[in-house]
């Protein structure tokens, strides 16, 4: 049975180690964290593993998970390399969504196979996380042998692995995609709610109006794809309405409206005539009105 060392006994590390142990297909070997209290709590939560006080004491293992904050991954990888405990052929991985396997480069000269495994999941509370993790997509990137072994781990813990092709740039693009989807949708919701407030609509009605439309639109995007799901003044070529919107929006909201409007013109593609496209772009790129 493959063994796993856990470095960084936080939310993600505890959850993945718990799931690996619970699968019955992995043995938890060593647990090391910055504070011994976290390591001891992790051993209790996972129900397996031995706590070690420093990296140099960790036992050999087939898999090494560096579940430390993103900013500490490269440093801990260097410390681990200096400790000289990672066996040749071992698989070392981190779980950052933004960073690639090259953060672990210090371990490659030792013969380690390095990768990143990012579950698209929020591990806010490990006890809840392990109960709801099944079916989570997990992005893999890095050395081929490591990705193969980690795909087996992902399957064992109930996740769904997929491979990112293209190394470091692909990882950054992957993270940009997630950020746009998860974060910019929040910002866009807020801008729409503020604009509804500007229209004098009561907050509870504005919530129903804006969030209901977002839900309905997401279903359309899922079922039809983004281009076919597009409705509204831009895809209709209605530059006059777009100009009216810009006339009432405060200057703080105009840049976002204009930028998304231009992207929407591109998405509308040949549903717009050349003349309509030019009129829309002229309006969207017109001199911002000062408020």
Which residues of the shown chain bind ligand NAP in the complex (CB under 6 A)?
Answer: 7-13, 33-35, 38, 67-70, 72, 76, 94-97, 118-119, 122-123
Beta-carbon contacts of residue 280 (< 8 Å; ≥ 6 apart): 234, 237, 239, 242, 261, 265, 272
Q: How far is the CB of 104 from ligand NAP (least distance, A)?
A: 12
Q: How far is the CB of 214 from ligand NAP (least distance, A)?
A: 23
Instruction: Please check whether residue 116 is in contact with residue 95, taking contact to mean a CB–CB distance below 8 angstroms.
Output: yes
Q: How far is the CB of 171 from ligand NAP (least distance, A)?
A: 12
CB closer to ligand NAP, 30 vs 119 = 119
Beta-carbon contacts of residue 241 (< 8 Å; ≥ 6 apart): 233
* Dihedral over Cα of 166, 172, 175, 181: its sign: negative
Residue nearest to ligand NAP (CB): 10
How many Cα atoms sit within 13 Å of 205 on the Cβ side?
7
CB closer to ligand NAP, 118 vs 253 = 118
CB closer to ligand NAP, 54 vs 285 = 54
Q: How far is the CB of 73 from ligand NAP (least distance, A)?
A: 6
Q: How far is the CB of 249 from ligand NAP (least distance, A)?
A: 35
Nearest-5° Cα angle at 63, 58 to 68: 70
Q: How far is the CB of 68 from ligand NAP (least distance, A)?
A: 4
Rounded to 5 degrees, what are φ and ψ at 64?
-125, 120
Q: How far is the CB of 252 from ligand NAP (least distance, A)?
A: 31
CB closer to ligand NAP, 47 vs 250 = 47
CB closer to ligand NAP, 159 vs 261 = 159
Quote the CA–CA distance of 116 and 140 in Å, as a whole number.
6
CB closer to ligand NAP, 16 vs 279 = 16
CB closer to ligand NAP, 119 vs 237 = 119
Q: How far is the CB of 10 from ligand NAP (least distance, A)?
A: 2
CB closer to ligand NAP, 130 vs 268 = 130
């Amino acid at each position: 049975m493959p063994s796993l060392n856990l470095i960084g006994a936080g939310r993600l590390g505890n959850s993945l180690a718990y799931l690996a142990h619970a699968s019955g297909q992995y043995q938890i070997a060593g647990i090391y964290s910055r504070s011994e209290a976290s390591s001891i709590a992790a051993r209790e939560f996972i129900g397996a593993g031995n706590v070690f006080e420093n990296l140099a004491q960790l036992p050999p293992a087939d898999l090494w998970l560096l579940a430390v904050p993103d900013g500490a991954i490269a440093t801990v990888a260097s410390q681990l390399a200096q400790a000289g405990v990672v066996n040749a052929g071992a698989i070392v991985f981190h779980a950052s969504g933004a960073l690639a396997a090259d953060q672990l480069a210090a371990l490659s000269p030792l013969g380690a196979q390095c990768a990143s495994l990012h579950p698209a999941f929020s591990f806010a509370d490990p006890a809840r996380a392990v109960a709801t993790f099944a079916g989570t997509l997990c992005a893999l990137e890095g050395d081929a042998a490591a990705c193969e072994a980690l795909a087996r781990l992902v399957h064992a813990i109930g996740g769904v692995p997929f491979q990112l092709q293209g190394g470091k740039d692909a990882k950054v693009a992957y993270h940009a995609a997630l950020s746009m989807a998860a974060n910019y949708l929040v910002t866009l919701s807020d801008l729409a709610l503020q604009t509804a407030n500007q229209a004098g609509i009561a907050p509870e009605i504005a919530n129903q109006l804006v969030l209901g439309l977002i839900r309905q639109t997401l279903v359309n995007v899922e079922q039809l794809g983004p281009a076919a799901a597009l409705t509204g003044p831009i895809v209709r070529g209605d530059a006059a309405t777009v100009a009216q919107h810009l006339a009432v929006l405060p200057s703080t909201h105009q840049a976002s409206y204009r930028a998304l409007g231009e992207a929407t013109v591109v998405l509308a593609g040949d549903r717009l005539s050349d003349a309509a496209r030019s009129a829309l772009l002229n309006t969207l790129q017109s001199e911002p009105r000062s408020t």
